[in-house]
Amino acid sequence: MLLQQAPPDTTGYMIAGYAVLFGVMLVYLVSFFMRFKNLKADLEVLQEIDSEE
């Protein structure tokens, strides 16, 4: 009881964890919007081919 220690300060790890989490979500969202943009372009090409026939 005389040598009680305070719990370790893990605030830095918590901030790093949130930074990694938000970074991964940002990469996912950028990837999602790029794929959506490419899908839209592919759809326009297919509709153009269909209208020519």
Please tell me the distance from the alpha carbon of residue 17 to that of residue 2, in angstroms, as a whole number.
34
The helix/strand/coil state of 21 is: helix
Reply yes or no on whether the pLDDT at 2 is more than 70.
no
Mean pLDDT of 11-33: 98
State the pLDDT confidence band at 53, using cuts at 50, 70 and 90.
confident
Taken as a whole, the chain contains a residue count of 53
Please tell me the distance from the alpha carbon of residue 35 to that of residue 30, in angstroms, as a whole number.
9
- Say what the pTM is: 0.69
pLDDT attached to residue 21 = 98
Average pLDDT over the chain reads: 93
Q: Which two tokens stand for residue 31?
A: 């990837």
Please tell me the distance from the alpha carbon of residue 3 to that of residue 13, in angstroms, as a whole number.
26
